[in-house]
Amino acid sequence: MTDTIAVLTGASRGLGAGLARGLLRKGTRLITLARRPDAELQSLAAQHGVELEQIEVDLSDLQAAGEVAERVCASLPRDAKRYLLINNAGTVEPVASAAKLTDGAAINAAFTLNVSAVILLTARFVAAVQDLAADRRVLNISSGAGRNPNAGWGVYCATKAALDMYTRVLKLEQGNSGVRTVSLAPGIVDTGMQETIRASDPENFPALAKFQEYHATGKLAAPADVAARILAYLDRDDFGNTEIDDIRNYN
């Protein structure tokens, strides 16, 4: 019998790639949703004897997100001891001052990826595992940007704030006996998103120099290290007691 079934979004690079590798544990079946497959991950899974299914999907496409959510969750085995959903995929774009946020398609894509896809996938996941006698957990990768405003990040801050509130509602609905859920800020991680941030126009993102300094002085955390800490957090017995959290609160 499979001990753990884990569904992970945004698994092809950065923090998601670190989480995917950390989930390659004996007894785990890992399902990843990403824009591109990871050949190295497939090889590592074979070496660890882990069943891996990689699904190529653009979760910023609302129809595609809904279809893959339904398909993945409808096919989940029902005899595992633990079920995990890690909503990690996200984007910081578009980066612009409030007066310049006029690209409706970019705004819509960001909200779809950062919020709507999470809601769709979580809804299907919760429905699929609702009546199972198993440990069921949802981890939403949020950001301090959802709790503290940053000039130029009107869309990013808004999506992460929405994600935090959605998580609070889910916890309220599920209570203490249902699916446990947390919206977790991972800190400042050395990922492709940080590269995007550092390439921002300083007119659109006044805090640019601060983020460039983080990189230049080695203050960005390594994705693999943060992933390990997040997975340890996910394993905690008190997971879900605090639904809005930050990995930097833990050693």
Q: Flag whether pLDDT at 251 surpasses 90.
A: no
Helix (H, G, I), strand (E, B) or coil at 251: coil
Contacts of 221 (CB under 8 A, 6+ apart): 187, 188, 189, 190
Using 50, 70 and 90 to split pLDDT, how confident is the model at 1? Answer: low
What value does the mean pLDDT take over residues 242-247? Answer: 97
The domain made up of 4-187+223-244 has a fold known as Rossmann fold (3.40.50)
Using 50, 70 and 90 to split pLDDT, how confident is the model at 207? Answer: low
Q: Flag whether pLDDT at 234 surpasses 90.
A: yes
Among residues 95, 90, 107, the alpha carbon closest in space to that of 142 is found at 90
Concatenating the DSSP letter of every residue in 97-159 gives -GGG---HHHHHHHHIIIIIHHHHHHHHHHHHHTT-SSEEEEEEE--GGGTS--TTBHHHHHH
Using 50, 70 and 90 to split pLDDT, how confident is the model at 192? Answer: low
Average pLDDT of the chain is 93
What is the largest distance, in Å, between two alpha-carbon atoms of the chain?
55
pTM of the model: 0.92
The number of beta carbons lying within 10 Å of the beta carbon of residue 229 is 18
Catalytic residues: 156
CA 158/CA 74 separation, integer angstroms: 31
CA 147/CA 164 separation, integer angstroms: 9
Q: At what angle do helices 104-111 and 154-174 cross, to 10 degrees?
A: 30
Looking at the DSSP bridge assignments, the partners of residue 85 are: 7, 138
Contacts of 45 (CB under 8 A, 6+ apart): 24, 30, 51, 52
What value does the mean pLDDT take over residues 168-187? Answer: 95
Using 50, 70 and 90 to split pLDDT, how confident is the model at 214? Answer: low
Domain ranges of the chain: 4-187+223-244
Q: Flag whether pLDDT at 211 surpasses 80.
A: no
Q: What's the pLDDT tens digit per position in 10-64?
A: 999 899 999 999 999 999 999 999 999 999 999 999 999 999 999 999 999 999 9
CA 51/CA 59 separation, integer angstroms: 23
pLDDT for residue 140: 98
CA 31/CA 203 separation, integer angstroms: 40
Q: What's the pLDDT tens digit per position in 81-135?
A: 999 999 999 999 999 999 999 999 999 999 999 999 999 999 999 999 999 999 9
